[in-house]
Structure formats: structure tokens, C-alpha cells
Structure 1
């Protein structure tokens, strides 16, 4: 008898919301809580619709899909209520009384829930304070006295602020005192969307909270572009054929034996076909950067690059080789691969961003404009090299060629990779003596559910010169962003404002994704990875054959079978900058103020003059150590 009730529903979402709330006797003051509860009941799909709304707002549009989804969910409430009235009239009176009473009891229930949670919050904060005390003591530990390096660095390398880069940076810096590394957001400050050659789509290569301001495409006369275009087209056609419902069974029947060979090959030999996402097949492409279909001229390119170099704190004393290392993860048979790639690049690898910025910095005309218009002199013999840090294997793959006579640099890179793998081997359950072979095999094993631990363990974000942290071992738990307060302060702290309104928000997002996936994996995580089925190509996963869309991280990314690999600690931010500059930025940005004052994260400043650390909370600074 349900069909007749559905047939009687209003034709529009607006009319249904009015009719349902009236018939279900929902008080106006309780509607927000009631609607929120309905959406949490289908939290996965609600989250997907919220993402669509977010994207629409970034593009300057609007989206009422959440309104529609709420109406659909409310329609089920109304239909089941009417069905109950029709079929069980003897119980509807008692049910109606219980239904209406819940709204008047809501505030008391919430208060009881808060009281019940109070002990847990005490333990939560105690765990965070314990972590902070150890971190703060290390930050105030004097750095070892090292003679000032007046000569030119032998190598400079810029990595993403990702916590996995912290391990590799330490390993690389330990190879030689003349090596200098920097931490910077992995999209390298390029607010771009990228149109792959031969593809009919563009993809964002920047943090999710920003809208692309520039477009990047490849020149049609690039060597290898036509080959890659035809390859992409073939892949797209086969993918479309395999996913059309009527053709699916015939596709399997026809190509089953071919896939059997592939399955056997992967199972027995684990052949590695390279990074499965976003590769450009080693082609040294030429990229065209446009703003509203107008190609950027040399002056505009130099202005873009000058801002990036300033934010990197890399404006002088350039090495002969400067590596710009994006990052990505090399895993097989992994629907969650994007969660292991670069959060600053919108879940892509940082390959395109590294290539584009390298091209700009190696252009002689851009360098001339930098010198003339921005007072940034890049020596003629300095060469920028694009690279990709594979976070699963800790290999650094060059995307553009190294200059000749740099064998020592290659030796340093190789040794750093081995050292980083040895450090990570224990957490992965790989014996130290087998760390190289074991970790490489994990990245190629299509049955491996834990190829790497991603950003598990992340807990703090340090914004300071590298000299303040180079002597410290954060064990892959800290995001590290280089920052020079003296240079930035002379200009009114524009770099600090950018860091606090972009990288700090993204690191908070990552931190909360891990925290909530551990705290309540049923609601905010995606359960058992082994049971996942991909939905709609890239929407998400089901755990099994249906149910709600699963969001967040799977258990295998958080737990090793014996213990949690991530402690749910809210992000602790430490900034080496004056208190007034930080406070002014918080006051100007409501979202940042809400994060600080509503206990989503801890915001501290490092005061070198007094050798103390202070915390900003609800407009006031207090000394914590």
C-alpha cells in the first residue's frame, strides 16, 4: 500500500516540506535539529551533496540539491507515518504522543548527552596537552650551534608541508650540511586547473577551499602529446564500454580470459606499471598558462613567480640545482588512492604544479623580469628541476632532467630514500634489513590493504624558519611550512595571512578527517576496505553492495590489526610571528576565528625573545610554557 501514499505526495520539495512538517507536528524551533537528524541518517549521501554545493559556491553559483535530498528523506518519514495511521490505528495514538514528546525533551536529552561526554573530553584534552608539552619543550630546545654557511648551497629542495615530507627532508638534510630544504604547500602556490592533452575535462590542482584562477594546458606541438591523446581516447572508450550496464556481462564474457592472464600476472609477479595516477609519461611538455583564455605575458608570469618565491622564503642565494618536489602515492587496486596523494592539489599528485613552476623559473625572459621588476636575481647557472616524491616508496623521480655533473646529488637522493624507508619500515611491519625490498613490494602488491600509513599520526603544524626545526625529529607527525617573519613583516604580513587562511585550514581538514574516522568509523569512516565497491566512478564507495555512501578513511588506514596508528588529537599550530600580527589576521577572518575560539584547533605562537610559547584563545594570549 506504499505506492498510493507516494503518489499522493506534493510535486515540489517546497510543498512537501510544508505539508510534512505540518502533518508531523514538528515545532518551528525544532525543525533545524530534526532536519539535521534526517540528513545524518543518510550521512554519506548528505556529505556528497554538501560537496557539490561547496563546488557550486566556489564557481559563483548556487545549488539546492541538499534541499531536494532533505525533501526526499522527509517524504519517507511522511509516507511511513501515513502508512502507520492506515494499518495500525490502535497504536497510532500512543506513537503520536511519544513522537510529539521527543521535541519538548530534546534540550534535556542534549544536556544529558553533554554531561555524559564530559569525562571523555577531559581525557581528550589531557592527551592533547601531553603531546603539546613534549612538542613545546622540543621547540624551545636551543638548536645546536652550527657555523653560518656563507657559501652557496650545493642543493636546495622544496617539498610539500605534508607530514610524510618531514621524514624525507630530515633524511636528505643529513646527507650533507650544504643541503637546504623548504616546506611549502604542495600546489606550489599555483591556483590552476589543468586540461590534460586529449581529454575533454579539466581538473583542479589546488586546495579544495580555493577556486582556480588560471588554466594550464599543453602546447599542441609537444612531442608525444598526440600519442598520449590517442591513448587517453582508447582508454576512455574501453572504460565506457565496460561500465554500460547492458554491455557489462558481454564485456566480461568476451575479455574474461584476457583479464585472467592479467590477474595471474599481477598475483605472481606484481609488475609495476608506474604511478597509476596523473602521470605525463615522461614527456617534457610545454605548458600554456591562461587567465580567462588570455595567455599570461612575461610580466604577469614574473609577478606570479615572485609571489611564490617570496612565500617560499627563497628569494636569494640560489643553489645551482633547486628541486621542486610534488608528491603522490604509488598503490595498486586502491579506491582511496586520492587520499594518499596531495591534499593541496585537490587529491591529485603535485606533478603538474611542479612541472609548470619549473618551466616558469627556467625561462630566461621570466628571470629578467624578476630581476627588473621584483629585485629577485636568479643566477644564470641555477637550474630548477621538477620531481615527484613517491610517499609509498620514498623514491624521488625526476620529471625534468638534472644538469650534467650532478652525480653527487643523485647519490644524496638515493641515500635519503633508503634512510626514509628504514625509518618507516617498523610501522609497516617490515624488517629493517628488508626495508627497501619490502616497501617496494607493498607498493606493487594489488592485495596490500596497507601500502603506507598516509598522514596517520598527524598532530601539529609548525610555521617557522627551518633553522628552528632542523635539529628536531617530529617522527612524521608534523606539517612543516617555512616562514620568515622579518621579511614578511616589512610588507604587512601577507604571507602569514595566506598561510593562516589556506594551509592552516587544509591541515585542519586533514587532521579532522583522521580524528573523526578513528572516533566514529561507522559514521565518519568507511569501514572495511576489503568489502568496498566503487560507486559512480568517483563518488565514493559502498561497504558491500549497497546502503549509505561511505565517507572518510577505512579501518585499514588507521589500525594495524592490533592497535590504532592514529591518535585523535586536535591540531596544534605553532607560528613564529608577533602576537598582534596573528591576532589581526584571526580578527579579519571569521572562519579562522571560529576554528580557534570554538576549540577545533590550538593556535600558539613561538616567542623567541622570551623563549616561551603562548596560546591565543578568545582574543587573549596566555603563556603555556
Structure 2
């Protein structure tokens, strides 16, 4: 949760059409990928998807057995299995994360087996005295367990992978955590897959239950066996039934997406009545993250003066870095989860001892006070002293910034190393040149150029990192912008850049800044003219008034104070809406959208294809930012359509597990994934409309199609309906869609639209 990045929860199934994945997931565990109430705007509440009629789905053995159990007065098998595995995983993965040992699938399984064999409480809780004997005879090796269990339970071996998938979905949170560890290991160039061990644990429970009920005998086992064998025989029919049942829902889904795309086409094909002049000298250039929240602030900032130009670029600003505060053993990535850091950044001077101690204290207390189920145990341990501390923080507390972010504040110089070797001016210039070209910022520099990262400001919020920059590994972009500003202000680097054809005027100064998305304040890390500070303050006030409408506080007498107060309120469950509402990704010159109000729903990336020799920048955009925006879009999509399975539920009930691994909803159950309900629902209606991402590229069709065919992942996203890919032509007179290697006309500017054709 300290490096939270939104992801598509079905990423490993992207080679299949989204509709087929949706029907498969519905058949496996009742997942709903459609929310008709949300699409229709009826605001029927978060239970709409769960109560919608759905055919019967696959039931694992534990769930099958619950049909013969009085779960109103007895603990259900399914709930207890999930609870037991989850409690074990919480302890195991916390110790693994702390570095107490190095695990593999066998170690995971064997550790669980030892614990379970020694546990006498399971028999008491379940009221089954002979159950523990079944764990004693399970194989000690996880591979043997998997083989034995499938031999005993998989009556149709061809469907065994589906059964295994259904079992892992019972503990989807911990399966996702194991998959995350595997992803991180692969980024580092090695293999670490704990999922087979986790599958063995879940299968072991199934085998133990089956043998236990078989040993007890009687009508219950006979009925269980009959239902179990029938389910295996009818699995193909179940899949087909779910696919057929979703036909109407997908038609409604595509109709809602088409309606949004029609609105976007009307906007994108409308030229400004009074286009801005390129002859006017610039006062300010400000590069922002492509994050949808930046669209609101950029529009407000540009409205302050026509001599202000804003740019959109990925929030890690092209720096493939990890940040290691000098004098500490701490290190964290500052780039998208798709990538592994290639460089390490640290301060030229170490932080003071007080700041380093603050970091150590923060780490110690967060691990103790947040360990699940911790909110209650912390007060129980600390007594009245802990209660007093909570009261003081509630009524008199100050901003609870992450101490890691405090270490580099005030720093103007950073050291950058690659494999332990300091980068020189030539290497920095090579890095900076690529970044500036990707930003479309290679000439006509303003006297002040702001590099604006972003972060949030909330309290008592385990999901705070989800409001920070996904392009920075769930951190703020503060380190990235300060490092890049330092590089670009370096005289030696500028001299090397001039040899690349990028001449930065001596009077131009780059300044790192941070956009607080919760309060819409921009803090600059260096001196800027008073006039520019005024522009930033006025833009923040304008953006806050726009956001106040969605927050439901537009009628407050002092909107500015109300919004800032929300950001520091421990009890506020909706300090901001994050990226709720995201629906499109526009890759084009800012001139194509500057005159438009996109409602904070669009990711904006500046791009001029005529300045992109070989279309290398376009390729980078389509394989990195486009994938990241798709991840964000699908996480929000699934957190709305099925918050039960792919959201994290009610954040009021959350308990943090292992200091930062994730949350339980309450004090048990599976580890929750996705967004809290309060991040997508205001208590009366959904604030996020679940639409698949619409991508708009202002580039030649041949280049787009060639890149899509070159990269399998991109091709799969387009052709399997995970996103829509559109092209805007040079004159902004038509839009066409790329789908399965063919271009399909979508919209054309009507003669009544008027206006002038613009650049690119």
C-alpha cells in the first residue's frame, strides 16, 4: 500500500477477448463485469451488481458442503477456509517482507502444513473432532499434494486448470499478492513464484474436507459426491450459459461507451473560435503529469494568461530512478510498475539526523499500529495514553506527510548513479535530451519552466498512495521533478544538450513543483516570480471551485477552507475523488484540446508527430503510458462493477495488514484489492462511470498500425476489446478507429462546426 499502483486485475488474460474473460470469471466465482445501474445512471447503490440476476456459478467443495450446513448458527466451511488461509498468509508474508527468510512455493506450503497440523482450534470451531487427522496424512511436498488432490477431485482432468483458478479466486487477495511478488522478481531478472504453494494450500483444504466427509459417511457425502461429479460434467454448459446471459449487458456497455465517444468526437472536431497566437512571448511553461486531475488545473492555469503554456507528460518525467535517502537503508522506486529502475538517486548531502530518526520512527510505529487487526489492539496496548494521542491528532493534528518525502525538501543537488557509478554531464544530457524530446519541449523556452509532479494530502488513509502518482510507483513526483530540474539547470548539461540541437536560453530556469491534488495547491521548490505565484494561486482557487461541485461542498461559504479542512480530517472518507471518471487518453498537441473542457476525465499527453523521427516517441507512448492508463481505467471499472470481488469494500472497516501489505475489511477474510467503495460511490450514486478507455492519437495511421502489430500486448488490448484506439487526422476533421488491423471511419467534422485547422 506504500507503492500502490492501479492495475487491470485480469492482465494475465489479456490474450482473450474481454467479453470471454468476463463470462469465464462470472462462471468461476460470480464476478460481475457489468453494472447496469451505473451505466443507466440510476444510482441504485453498490449492491446493484451483486443482486443482479446471474446464473449459478462454480462452487468449490467447501462452498458445496455449506449447502448442508446451518451457517446461521455454525461457521461455514467456505468462510473458515478463507479465514484460516488468510490469517496464516498475513503472518507469513509480513515476515517474508521483513526479510526474516527467503521463501519458495515449497516453503510456503510446508510452513502452512506445520501450523495447521499443530492447530487444535479448527476442530473446535467447526465442530468436527476428526478433521485434524486429515491434515496429518497430507503429503509434505506441495507438488505431491497438488497431484494427489487433483487425482482425487478432478473427475474431468481437462478442466483441472479451471478448478485451480476457481480455488485461487477464493483467496484472490493473497493470490494477487503472490502474483505481485512474482512480477517484482521478474523485473529484477529472476523467478520467484509462490502461487503453486498457495494453490497447494487451498487444494489441501479441499482434499482434507473431501476425505473427512467421506470418512464420516452418510447421506451428506453421497449428496456432495453426486453434486460434485455433476458440476464437472456440466462445466462447459455453465460457461456457455454465462456467456449467453451477458449478451444484453455488453450491448448496453458498448452503447454507453459509444455515447461518450460521440461526445468526445464532437469536442475534438471542434476548433477554437479564437485560436491562440504562437507569436506571443511566453511567460510560463508548466509540464504536468498526464493524470486526469491535472486536466482541471491545467485548464484553470491557462485561463490566467494567454502567455502560459502547459504540457502533459508521464509523472515520473522519464526518469527510470529509485530514490535512496542518503544515510539510510531505505530505497523506493519512482517510476511505473511496468519498469525496473535503472538509476539510483540520492541527495548530495545527507539529511539531518532528526529527519532520519523521523523515518525510522515512522517505519516502526506504522508496522506496530497498522498490523492487522491493529486499530483496536493498538489502543488496547497503549491504553489511555494511546487514546489521548488519537484525540490530539484528531482535533489538533497537523499534516501527516510521509517522512521520506521530507528528507529531500530543500535539496537542490542530487547524485545519480548507474550500477554504482556517478553519471557525468554527457550521460545526464543524453538522458535529458530524450526526456525533452518526448515532452515536445525542445525550443521556445519560457523564462520559467515548472516541472510539476503531484501528490495528495490526506490523513488516516491507508489508501493514500493510491491518490499519489501511479507513474511514480504510488509516490509523489517530488523527487523526480527536483532531480530533473537540477539536471536541466546544470551549465555543463546545457552545453552538451546544445550539441544535440536543444539550446536552452541562459535566462530560462527550471523549477520543480508539486501539485497537491487534494487541495489544488502548487508548491514550488525554488524561487519563481510573484506574478507566476499569483497565476498558480488563482488557478488553484478556480480548480477548487470546480472540484467542489463533485465533492458536494460548492455551497460552502468558504470553499477554499472547506477543501483544505477535508484533507486533514481524520474522519473524512472522501478527501478527493482521485481518478474517478477517467475515460479517455488523448495524445496530441495541446492546441487540439486547450479550448476544451474535458471535465477531468481525460489523460492528456502532448505529442507532435512531425517532431518524432522514426516514431520512437509514439512507440514509447503506446507501450508505456497507454498501458498504465488502461490499468488505471480497468481498476476503477472493476471497483465499480464488482466491488465485492475487485474492490476493497468499506474503508471505515479497514484494518491494515503487515504494515503495508493491504487491508482486511474487518479483522479477517481475504486480503482486499482494488479501490474502497467510498472512492467510487458518494453514498447515493456512483461517481465513476465504468467505461473502457478510449485512446485518441494524433499521428499517421501507418505508424500507429505498425507499432500495434509490432507489440503483442498492444495488439491484444486493441483487438480483444480491452480499450478503444482512435486516430485524429492532421486537420482535426475526422476520427477513425483501428480494430483488428483495419481502420473504420467514426466521425467527421460537420460544415457548421467552423473554425480553423490547426498545427499537426
TM, length-normalised to structure 2: 0.78
**How far apart in 1 are the matches of 2:333 and 2:455?**
15
**How far apart in 2 are the matches of 1:308 and 1:600?**
29
CA distance 1:275–1:143, change in 2 (3 Å): farther
State which of 387, 399, 424 in structure 2 corresponds to 1:272.
Answer: 399
CA distance 1:170–1:129, change in 2 (3 Å): same
1:585 maps to which residue? Answer: 707
State which of 534, 539, 544 in structure 2 corresponds to 1:416.
Answer: 539
Q: Report how many aligned residue pairs link the two structures.
A: 616
2:503 maps to which residue? Answer: 377
CA drift at 1:456: 0.4
SS of corresponding position for 2:323: strand
State which of 384, 387, 393 in structure 1 corresponds to 2:513.
Answer: 387
SS of corresponding position for 2:415: strand
Deviations 1:74-132 (A, max 9, x none): 00010000001001244434432321221221111111111111111111110000000
Structure 2 residue 657 is the aligned partner of structure 1 residue 532: no
Structure 2 residue 587 is the aligned partner of structure 1 residue 468: no
2:326 maps to which residue? Answer: 197
SS of corresponding position for 2:550: coil
1:446 maps to which residue? Answer: 570
State which of 297, 306, 309 in structure 1 corresponds to 2:433.
Answer: 306
**How far apart in 2 are the matches of 1:479 and 1:118?**
30
CA distance 1:567–1:249, change in 2 (3 Å): closer
CA drift at 1:42: 1.0
Kindly indicate whether the alpha-carbon contact (under 8 Å) linking 1:168 and 1:416 is maintained by their aligned counterparts in 2: yes
Q: List gaps (5 residues or longer) in structure 1.
A: none
State which of 336, 356, 364 in structure 2 corresponds to 1:229.
Answer: 356
Kindly indicate whether the alpha-carbon contact (under 8 Å) linking 2:654 and 2:665 is maintained by their aligned counterparts in 1: yes
CA RMSD, 1 decimal = 2.0
Kindly indicate whether the alpha-carbon contact (under 8 Å) linking 2:511 and 2:524 is maintained by their aligned counterparts in 1: yes
1:455 maps to which residue? Answer: 579
SS of corresponding position for 1:264: helix
Kindly indicate whether the alpha-carbon contact (under 8 Å) linking 1:270 and 1:445 is maintained by their aligned counterparts in 2: no
Higher RCO, Cα 8 Å, sep 6+:
2
1:11 maps to which residue? Answer: 140
Deviations 1:462-514 (A, max 9, x none): 000000000000010000000011111xx110000000000000000000000
Structure 2 residue 734 is the aligned partner of structure 1 residue 612: yes
Pairs within 5 Å for 1:66-215: 66-146=195-275, 148-215=277-344
State which of 459, 463, 466 in structure 2 corresponds to 1:339.
Answer: 466
Moved beyond 6 Å, runs of 4+: 247-251
CA drift at 1:217: 1.4
CA distance 1:211–1:244, change in 2 (3 Å): closer
CA distance 1:584–1:3, change in 2 (3 Å): same
CA drift at 1:238: 4.9
2:644 maps to which residue? Answer: 522
**How far apart in 1 are the matches of 2:657 and 2:730?**
52
TM, length-normalised to structure 1: 0.95
CA distance 1:82–1:254, change in 2 (3 Å): closer
CA drift at 1:260: 3.5
2:666 maps to which residue? Answer: 544
1:600 maps to which residue? Answer: 722
**How far apart in 1 are the matches of 2:177 and 2:223?**
37
State which of 164, 167, 173 in structure 2 corresponds to 1:38.
Answer: 167
Deviations 1:169-218 (A, max 9, x none): 00000000000000000000001111123432311100001111111112
Kindly indicate whether the alpha-carbon contact (under 8 Å) linking 2:269 and 2:732 is maintained by their aligned counterparts in 1: no
**How far apart in 2 are the matches of 1:590 and 1:181?**
33
Deviations 1:434-487 (A, max 9, x none): 211110110011100000000000000000000000000001000000001111
Kindly indicate whether the alpha-carbon contact (under 8 Å) linking 2:287 and 2:312 is maintained by their aligned counterparts in 1: yes
